[in-house]
Amino acid sequence: MATSEASSSGGNGQGCDPSITYYWWEEVAKQNSAEEMWMVIHGRVYDIIRFLSEHPGGEEVLLIQAGADATESFEDVGHSPDAREMLKQYYIGDAHPSDLKPKKGGNKDPSKRSTCKSCWAYCILPLVGAILVGFLCRHFMADNKSS
């Protein structure tokens, strides 16, 4: 839910400007369809649904970034000063400063995070390699002593 509070109990609203509407990342993430489309660029939330059909790069580019932090993609494209100025008309608020941004490409639901299924390889393979090297050294040392 959007908040416009300057502070709240426990200091969760600390550093918030009361004149700005703040949105939680969870709320931004829900606005990711052709009917409702928000994205965050440099910590500011934009409702870009009206711009969808006008975007020079096409709708698909925006749909991919919908409901997420599009800062990196926005900067990678190298938008012009005119594009940055145009962005202001779609501004609706800021991402809440005390809310943690979801990682790019990550699962937004922490309860469904996958664990690394091949992490065992980082421990087991070097161990097996070290044992093999040890046996090979022992074998060659034994051959050298018998000669």
pLDDT tens, 5-39? 333 333 344 567 778 899 988 899 998 887 889 99
Structural domain includes residue 109: no
Residue 120, classed as helix, strand or coil, is: helix
Pair 14, 69 in one domain: yes
Pair 147, 98 in one domain: no
Q: What is the pLDDT of residues 105-146, one digit of tens each?
A: 444 443 333 444 455 555 676 777 888 888 888 888 877 776
Strands 22-23 and 91-95: parallel
Q: Which residue has the higher pLDDT, 97 or 119?
A: 97
Pair 92, 142 in one domain: no
Pair 75, 127 in one domain: no
Interatomic CA distance for residues 19 and 40, integer angstroms: 19
Residue 46, classed as helix, strand or coil, is: strand
Q: What is the pLDDT of residue 14?
A: 53
Pair 95, 131 in one domain: no
Q: What is the pLDDT of residue 69?
A: 92
Domains held by the chain: number: 2
Pair 96, 144 in one domain: no
Q: What is the pLDDT of residues 48-93, one digit of tens each?
A: 999 888 888 888 888 888 899 999 989 988 888 998 999 999 999 9
Full residue range of the structural domain in which residue 128 is found = 117-147
Pair 28, 63 in one domain: yes
Structural domain includes residue 53: yes
Q: What is the pLDDT of residue 58?
A: 83
Pair 36, 5 in one domain: yes
Pair 80, 121 in one domain: no
Count the Cβ atoms, other than its own, within 10 Å of residue 69. Answer: 21
Structural domain includes residue 110: no
